[in-house]
Structure 1
């Protein structure tokens, strides 16, 4: 089992990664790059390592999103894990299903989990539709065993972060705290952005 799980958790080539703008500076010129493995690449990995007959997925619609159950068969025993995601701004149903699948692959079986060790890197962004996309393709950089402290670009220092996702897109964390403290707790527990986590902790501690 360990050998199969290690193969599932191997790093992906950069062409199998995609990046989402996780937060923007107040000038909306720079965005925090969050890296994810494409759903297609995860499906290919499962096919190659386990075989098409040894994994399956099921989805359940929940309020505001989808719950995905990913099951894999090892030594003739099925092992299932669950995780969920909210619908997305673009192609909300398809995006929500895809996000739930990618999330359970990572949280349940460690597929692509190494991306949580990516450095907090900021890149130029440009408007697209109701949100933002990167003006240039971000480059993935993983932290060393002793992560170096990353600094925000000069224009972002001492300025509040503005979310570029979810139901409070366009709000600062301070504004969200005044409106919905439960969402701040959610971000503290689920966010992959160290700056967002630390700010949420500071707000919840009343500092």
Structure 2
């Protein structure tokens, strides 16, 4: 599952690209401070985003092989939207798991199309820049999603030279896309295990 592009470290992590061949290990950690709105207002804190909802799913160890249909990811995504009280049409951006593993990217893309229909929101995959920090990835990418809400700009996916024709998504590439972002999702997926989706709203 690791990329074999050892001759090209900067270009090795290429989520959603037709020539992707695996992920690149990254290193990092992220911390998000959660506080009740009333408390934040009382101390006049600068609120970066509102944590609006959460969904999770897991597969029993007894089930063999990967979840090729992505049903677990889909359950987590739909649960997160329901928890946030949002419909698919309310989401302005998805920070995808986007690991660069060929099968994982394809399954995630198909799930996003099932949930969002023919006009999914703009997608980015920050692992293309920072790699896959494994246990730290969820928190780091949640922080990236919060920064997208703060800056009202969706960061580009690096190394996306040729979108896989089977991935029918609007993947942001080349440069940041400035647009209103009122609600955004951050997905953490594992075809053989646990999935989590976080929903953030602009304050």
The structure with the greater share of residues assigned to helix is 1
User: Which has the higher Rg, Structure 1 or Structure 2?
Assistant: 1
Same fold, TM-score > 0.5, yes or no: no
TM-score of the two chains, using structure 1 as the length reference: 0.24
